[in-house]
Amino acid sequence: MILGLLAAAFLSPAAMAQDISLRLPVACEVGKTCFIQHYVDRDPSTAAKDFQCGSLTYDGHDGTDIRIPTMAAQKAGVAVLAAADGKVLRGRDGVADVSIAESDRASVGNRECGNGVVIDHGQGFETQYCHMAKGSLSVRPGDDIKAGDQIGRVGLSGMTEFPHLHFTLRRDGKVVDPFAFGAEANSCGGGRSLWDAKTASMLSYRAGDVLNQGFADGPVTMAAVESGAIEQTVPSARSPALVAYVRAIGLKGGDAQFLTLVDPDGKTLAENKPAALDRDKAQWMLFSGIKAPSGGFRPGLYRAHYKVTRDGKTAIEQAFAIDLKP
């Protein structure tokens, strides 16, 4: 729950009279260079559910989390954009980009939003942008803003463990879910989208996704994937091992995962089929690999295939490949 700039509560449908049209507030390609990690929690109880009655949220979450895949991407710079025309009401900068996993929650007390901006769009609508990078804010209170103007960069400030933008829409100080405008609390699939047509087409609901995938020449760690360091070494035919890896988000209890690695002839070299998940997982890493044979790997195209089945149906599926050079 984000508390640093504004308190939140759900807006009753009776109060909704006029709309706002929103564009994507991050300069990224959804499903490739950014992903929706969490939606607004629409369950008023201590349980949690997103606007499709899925599990991509947590209790009290009051916004949309747009995540970028690695800290390397964050350090390279990913722009945060104004979602609509408006005027900057207030902002805060100067909060360090440090995961709370490496510090403690008390260190960001009353600054849970981290570096953030609030923009007034008129008709009672405001948008809030949280966790931006220290020193990246490019606007000040009173500035007039157009939709798409850069206001900062995605960061790791405040109450967060991964680089993302926490985006909250409010009307008259109360939370509005931009994916389910006018829907009753705790409803499934109701209301309507406040995203513009282009953005709405990019933000189709996905009950889970692949955040990272690739190949390594040795053991794979979550830290190496999160930092982006694993992408700096490209395996070759001379590597001591070939390991396919995947980090997925939005997995559910009972999900079955499969990761298979095959050689240029289509022969299976390695396969990982772990036990079904015992509970929902915000993220999960899986890998499958093999040590190099005597004389090294044969040059050519090696393929990996990742699949998640849920209730007997395919929920996530992705194939990827690497051309091993001599």
Q: Indicate if 158 and 298 belong to the same structural domain.
A: no
Q: How far apart are CA 1 and CA 260, in angstroms?
A: 38
Mean of pLDDT values over 299-321: 97
Helix (H, G, I), strand (E, B) or coil at 150: strand
Residues 130 and 173 grouped into a single domain: yes
Q: What is the CATH number of the domain that holds 273?
A: 2.60.40.2550
Q: Is the distance from CB of 151 to CB of 166 less than 8 angstroms?
A: no
Sign of CA dihedral 30, 31, 34, 40: positive
Measured in degrees and rounded to the nearest 5, phi and psi for residue 14 equal -65, -25
Q: Taking residues 155-170, what's their average pLDDT? A: 97
For 17, residues 6+ apart whose C-beta sits below 8 A from its C-beta are none
Give the percent of the chain with pLDDT over 90.
88
Same domain, 111 and 247: no
Instruction: Write down which residue in 178, 202, 226 finishes a domain.
Output: 202
Backbone torsion region of residue 113, taken as left when φ is above 0, otherwise alpha when ψ lies between -120 and 50, otherwise beta: alpha
How many structural domains are present in the chain?
2
Residue 48 scores a pLDDT above 80? yes
Asked if 241 and 180 sit in the same domain, the reply is no
With bands split at pLDDT 50, 70 and 90, how would you rate the model's confidence at 312? very high
Residue-level length of the chain: 326
Residue 24 lies in a domain: yes
Cβ neighbors of 263 (< 8 A, separation 6 or more) are 269, 298, 300, 302
Q: What is the mean pLDDT of the chain?
A: 93
List pLDDT tens digits, range 186-243. Answer: 889 999 999 999 999 999 999 899 999 999 999 999 999 999 999 999 999 999 999 9
Does the pLDDT value for residue 6 go beyond 50? no
- As a 3-state breakdown, the chain gives helix, strand, coil percent values, each rounded to 5, of 10, 40, 50
Confirm whether 5 is domain-assigned. no
CA-CA distance, 277 to 219, in Å (whole number)? 22
Same domain, 33 and 180: yes
For position 170, which CATH number holds? 2.70.70.10
pLDDT digits (tens, 9 = 90+) for 74-131: 999 999 999 999 999 999 999 999 998 887 777 788 899 999 999 999 999 999 999 9
Question: Among residues of the chain, what percentage have pLDDT more than 70?
Answer: 94
On whether both 136 and 113 belong to a single domain, the answer is yes
The pLDDT-based confidence of 20 (bands split at 50, 70, 90) is very high
Q: What is the pLDDT of residue 101?
A: 82
**Does residue 3 sit within a domain?**
no
**Separation between Cα atoms, residue 14 and residue 28, nearest integer Å:** 35
**136 and 74 within one domain:** yes
Across residues 299-323, what is the average pLDDT? 97
Regarding whether 113 and 133 lie in a shared domain, the answer is yes
Instruction: Print the domain residue range for 136.
Output: 13-202
pLDDT band at 14 (very low <50, low <70, confident <90, very high): very low
- Domain end among 202, 225, 252: 202
Asked if the structure places residue 4 within a domain, the reply is no
The pLDDT value recorded for residue 11 is 46
Residue 197 phi/psi, 5° resolution?
A: -60, -45
Chain segment 239-278, per-residue pLDDT in tens: 999 999 999 999 999 999 999 999 999 999 999 999 999 9
What's the pLDDT at 192?
A: 92
Beta-bridge partner residues of 320: 304
State whether 194 and 165 are in the same domain: yes
pLDDT confidence of residue 185: 81
* Domain final position from 169, 202, 235: 202
Token readout for 86 is 């408006």
What gap in Å lies between CA 48 and CA 171, rounded to an integer?
A: 22
Separation CA 273–CA 100 (nearest Å): 32
CA dihedral 166, 170, 175, 181 (to 10 degrees): -100
What pLDDT does residue 18 have? 59
Residues 270 and 128 in one domain: no
In angstroms, the CA 173 to CA 311 distance is 40
- SS3 of 100-120: the string is CCCCCHHHHCCCCCCEEEEEE
Q: Do the domain assignments include residue 8?
A: no
Residue 233 and residue 120 in one domain: no
Per-residue pLDDT band for 3 (boundaries 50, 70, 90) equals very low
Is position 142 within any domain? Answer: yes
Check whether residue 126 and residue 222 sit in a common domain. no
Per the structure block, which two tokens stand in for 286?
């899986």
